[in-house]
């Protein structure tokens, strides 16, 4: 084992111990309640689990990029799907946006707060009538002297209820199409910002999802993230990491679901033998393992491409499509092997099942992924 892999395993052990201590004893209660406490973010920050690969000058560990993916993978493997999604948005998406695009003042102000959990991050792209269609965005920002006035609404925003900062996508030039989109870092204490009720979901119940509203919300020009009109370029630039994070969640969840199922089929008896002895069970498990390992290999390939700065939007789309569809297939087949017990809340495989379903929807639906991939093959239809 190399020194790098030894370090990664040490980080993995630290992550697992922290999740077992701080999350596992309470997660069932949070799922039933439909939310995790706000203080959890401070706890995760104190444990060194937030924004782990940011620079030390922000109070982070300056760990390898791989560690951020291990965190997502392990949280998902342990059945904490809602938490994994929240951490993905906070540390794997919002923090890199600010780190890569923000100016020094923005980074120095927000990133230390994100590392400690003092400020929870969210990103607001999706709108009630637009979905994955950013060109149909209606939220707009109008320049007024040294300020911008933002009006509009967003929906399905992960961390929306607990966020202290939100990266808001808004049209600053409605006539320019995708070239008229800009990004703003919005402090949620800003007048004109409000939150809707918590969105009730079929899964990831402990995860915080909400609608956000902006009514004549005035922000200074200094709140703009990057350059005016380059929002769409930035979104495309950061997509590879976002989709790597989702794929890491998928891989972890598939690992967790399969491990539960292997244990169950060896213990469960039917017709005088464990159901692991039936050829159908063994063949199903073999098929799932094969699909998972192929997906794992592509994830590793994409990580290398990302580190080299060579990962393309098409590769990110292939990764997101293949990993999330794989996860849904694996948890579905695993639940089937549990029989009727798989459909009960008593067995955690049921949570893996409902938590997985949104993975093929958020961060770009499977249908949008296919559209992006096909355009690179035969152009637009």
Residues 132, 120 contacting (CB under 8 angstroms): no
What residues form DSSP beta bridges with 220? Answer: 147
Question: What beta strand segments (E) does 199-257 contain?
Answer: 209-220, 224-225
204 Cβ contact partners less than 8 Å away, ≥ 6 residues apart: 81, 82, 85, 354, 355, 358
| pLDDT of residue 22 exceeding 90 | yes
Residues 264, 291 contacting (CB under 8 angstroms): no
Count of CB atoms situated within 10 Å of the CB of 182 = 23
Nearest to 292 by CA among 245, 324, 266, 315: 324
**Which CATH number fits the domain 3-119, given the four candidates 1.10.540.10, 3.40.190.10, 1.20.210.10, 3.30.230.10?**
1.10.540.10
CATH match of 122-229 with 1.10.579.10: no
What confidence tens digit (pLDDT) does each residue in 339-363 have? 999 999 999 999 999 999 999 999 9
d(CA 95, CA 249): 18
Extract long-range pairs of 125-131: CB within 8 Å, 24+ residues apart.
Answer: 125/154, 125/169, 125/235, 126/154, 126/155, 126/156, 126/157, 127/152, 127/153, 127/154, 127/155, 128/153, 128/155, 128/211, 131/365
Integer angstrom CA distances of residue 207 from 37, 159, 236, 259: 10, 7, 25, 23
d(CA 253, CA 74): 8
The confidence band for 380, taking pLDDT boundaries of 50, 70 and 90, is: confident
Local structure of residue 200 (DSSP, 8 states): P
The dotted CATH code for 232-378 is 1.20.140.10
In a 3-state reduction of DSSP, which class is residue 186? Answer: strand
Report pLDDT for 114: 98
Mean per-residue pLDDT, 229-236: 94
What confidence tens digit (pLDDT) does each residue in 7-21 have? 889 999 999 999 999
Mean per-residue pLDDT, 194-221: 97
Phi/psi-derived region of residue 152, left when phi > 0, alpha when psi is between -120 and 50, beta in every other case: left
Mean per-residue pLDDT, 267-271: 91
Taking the domains of the chain in order of start, what are their residue ranges?
3-119, 122-229, 232-378
Of the listed 74, 127, 238, 242, which one is catalytic?
Answer: 242
Nearest to 127 by CA among 137, 117, 113: 137
d(CA 347, CA 350): 6
Give the side-chain half-sphere CA count within 13 A for 333.
22
Report pLDDT for 7: 83
| pLDDT of residue 35 exceeding 90 | yes
What residues form DSSP beta bridges with 231? Answer: none
Annotated catalytic, 300?
no
Nearest to 193 by CA among 132, 149, 137: 149
| pLDDT of residue 132 exceeding 80 | no
| pLDDT of residue 195 exceeding 60 | yes
d(CA 171, CA 150): 9
Burial class of residue 201 (count of CB atoms within 10 Å of its CB; 0-12, 13-18, 19+): middle
Question: What beta strand segments (E) does 221-354 contain?
Answer: 224-225, 269-270, 273-274
What average pLDDT does the chain have? 95
């Amino acid at each position: 084992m190399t020194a790098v892999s030894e370090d990664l395993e040490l980080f993995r052990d630290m992550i697992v111990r922290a999740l077992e201590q701080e999350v596992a004893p309470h997660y069932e209660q949070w799922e039933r309640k439909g939310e995790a406490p706000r203080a959890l973010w401070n706890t995760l920050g104190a444990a060194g689990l937030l924004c782990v690969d940011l620079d030390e000058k922000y109070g982070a560990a300056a760990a390898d990029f791989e560690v951020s993916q291990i965190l997502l993978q392990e949280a998902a493997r342990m059945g904490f799907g809602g938490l994994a999604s929240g951490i993905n948005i906070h540390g794997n998406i919002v923090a890199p946006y600010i780190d890569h695009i923000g100016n020094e003042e923005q980074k120095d102000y927000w990133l230390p707060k994100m590392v400690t959990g003092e400020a929870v991050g969210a990103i607001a792209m999706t709108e009630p009538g637009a979905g994955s269609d950013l060109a149909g965005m209606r939220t707009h920002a109008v320049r007024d002297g040294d300020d911008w006035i933002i009006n509009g609404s967003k929906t399905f925003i992960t961390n929306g209820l607990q966020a202290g900062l939100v990266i808001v996508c808004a049209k600053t030039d409605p006539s320019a199409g995708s070239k008229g989109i800009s990004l703003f870092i919005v402090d949620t204490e800003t007048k004109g910002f409000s939150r809707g009720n918590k969105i009730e979901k079929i899964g990831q119940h402990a995860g915080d999802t909400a609608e956000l509203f902006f009514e004549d919300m005035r922000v200074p020009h200094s709140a703009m993230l990057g350059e005016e009109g380059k929002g769409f370029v930035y979104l495309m630039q950061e997509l590879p990491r976002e989709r790597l994070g989702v794929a890491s969640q998928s891989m972890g969840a598939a690992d967790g679901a399969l491990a539960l199922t292997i244990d169950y089929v060896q213990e469960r008896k039917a017709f005088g033998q464990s159901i692991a002895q039936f050829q159908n069970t063994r063949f199903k498990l073999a098929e799932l393992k094969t699909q998972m390992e192929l997906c794992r290999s592509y994830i590793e390939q994409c990580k290398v491409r990302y580190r080299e700065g060579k990962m393309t939007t098409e590769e990110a789309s292939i990764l997101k499509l293949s990993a999330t569809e794989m996860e849904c297939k694996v948890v579905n087949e695993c639940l089937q092997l549990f029989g009727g017990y798989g459909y009960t809340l008593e067995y955690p495989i049921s949570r893996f099942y409902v938590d997985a379903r949104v993975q093929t929807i958020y961060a770009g639906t499977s249908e949008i992924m296919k559209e992006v991939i096909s355009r690179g093959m035969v152009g637009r239809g």
